[in-house]
């Protein structure tokens, strides 16, 4: 989802900066002038490398205030927005300070006695090193934040979204595959305990996305951790409709009564979202609770469920029909 810059540790950044400084060259009419110009060039090169790299890290992270609500909640789940802002603020401060130190020592070396050139260069290197090490923990935190944010799903908050819920093994991923064009992406996202299926389909000129929710909606609320609870909250920003699948044959490994209790919980979680219930595995000829019967194995009734969902959306909100018909 996010294209974030690679982030070096404090040691890596210092190696980069001083490595570049060693390659600096300088000219001058005499030995003393060349030595002075070389020291100025090396301090300038090292300082500029540190300053520009740190500023690049800050600019490379997305504007947290401008993120869509869905992603803002997920980012908060993964890295804690408050802490991330603090780390970015510390790195931004260090970038500014690196520029100040660099300008100070370039000026002092350029004006100081020849005997002080080497000592001032070493002093500048020492202050730059101390500065970078001062934000070492912040850099490490940004490394971890980058690793987490790069795994976020590429979900488009602007597309109408159908969320598929239900217990494990009731056929949620199979349903997503059955109604999606092509093979949906299935991956382990960091806000779930299992893989998530994300697919897309089109009706007329309108494109939709559909995703299942394993590891989030298949546990009692009291057993869910903070990450799972906030992920559910994030899904509320996306879901324009919910398809709830049950397995009346109980071959999924869960009693039907438990599944129905989860259904009521999902209704409570998404009180303002249209919800369509479908009984999967109709090919096994199990009992029925009177809901739509489908088989994701044979395809029986799958499109009917999708039609019901879209019909529910348009009947509930006439403006949705206009959105669906527009490019």
Query: Which sequence spans correspond to the domains of the chain?
Result: 10-149, 161-325
At residue 225, the pLDDT reads 75
Residues of the chain where predicted confidence (pLDDT) is lower than 50: 322-327
Give Cα 155 to chain centroid, integer Å: 10
Task: Please tell me the CATH code under which domain 10-149 is placed.
Answer: 1.20.120.1190
Sign, Cα dihedral of 150, 233, 187, 176: negative
Does CATH place domain 161-325 in 3.40.50.300? yes
Look up residue 221 and give its DSSP letter. Answer: G
pLDDT number for residue 106: 96
The model's pLDDT over 181-207, given as tens digits with 9 standing for 90+, comes to: 656 666 777 767 677 778 888 887 888
**Sign of the CA dihedral 130, 131, 132, 133?**
positive
**Hey, what are 184's tokens?**
């949906």
The per-residue DSSP string of 151-213 comes to TS----TTS-EEEEE-STTSSHHHHHHHHSSSPPEEEE-TTSSSEEEEEEEEETTEEEEEEE-
Render the burial of 4-30: b for 16+ CB within 10 Å, e for the rest.
beebbebeebbeebbeebeebeeeeee
State the pLDDT at residue 327: 41
Stated as kind and residue range, the H or E segment containing 239 is: strand 239-246
Q: Residue 158's pLDDT is what?
A: 82
Q: Using DSSP bridges, classify how beta strands 161-165 and 185-188 pair: parallel, antiparallel or unpaired.
A: unpaired
Q: Encoding tokens for residue 182?
A: 């092509």
The C-alpha R_g of the chain, in whole angstroms, comes to: 29
215: nearest Cα among 228, 204, 225, 197:
228
pLDDT digits (tens, 9 = 90+) for 58-114: 999 888 778 888 788 778 877 888 899 999 999 999 999 999 999 999 999 998 787
């Amino acid at each position: 989802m996010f294209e974030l810059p690679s982030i070096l540790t404090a040691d890596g950044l210092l190696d980069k900066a001083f490595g570049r400084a060693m390659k600096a060259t300088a000219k001058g009419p005499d030995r003393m002038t060349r030595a002075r110009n070389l020291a100025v060039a090396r301090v300038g090169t090292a300082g500029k490398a540190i300053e520009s790299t740190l500023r690049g890290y800050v600019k490379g992270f997305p504007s947290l205030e401008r993120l869509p609500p869905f992603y803002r909640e997920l980012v908060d789940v993964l890295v804690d927005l408050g802490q991330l802002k603090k780390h970015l603020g510390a790195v931004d401060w260090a970038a500014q300070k690196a520029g100040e130190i660099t300008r100070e020592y370039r000026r002092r070396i350029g004006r100081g006695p020849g005997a002080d050139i080497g000592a001032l260069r070493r002093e500048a290197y020492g202050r730059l090193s101390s500065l970078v090490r001062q934000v070492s923990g912040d850099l490490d935190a940004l490394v971890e934040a980058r690793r987490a944010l790069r795994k976020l799903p590429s979900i488009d908050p602007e597309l109408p979204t159908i969320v598929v819920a239900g217990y494990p093994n009731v056929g949620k991923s199979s349903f997503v595959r059955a109604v999606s064009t092509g093979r949906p992406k299935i991956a382990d996202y960091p806000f779930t305990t299992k893989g998530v299926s994300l697919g897309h389909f089109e009706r007329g000129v309108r494109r939709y996305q559909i995703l299942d929710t394993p590891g989030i909606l298949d546990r009692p609320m009291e057993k869910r951790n903070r990450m799972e609870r906030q992920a559910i909250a994030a899904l509320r920003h996306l879901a324009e409709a919910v398809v709830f699948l049950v397995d009346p044959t109980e071959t999924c490994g869960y009693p039907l009564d438990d599944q129905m209790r989860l259904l009521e919980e999902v209704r409570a979680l998404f009180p303002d979202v249209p919800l369509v219930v479908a009984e999967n595995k109709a090919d096994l000829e199990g009992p029925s609770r009177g809901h739509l019967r489908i088989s994701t194995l044979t395809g029986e009734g799958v499109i009917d469920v999708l039609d019901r969902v879209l019909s529910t959306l348009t009947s509930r909100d006439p403006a949705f029909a206009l959105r669906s018909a527009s490019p």
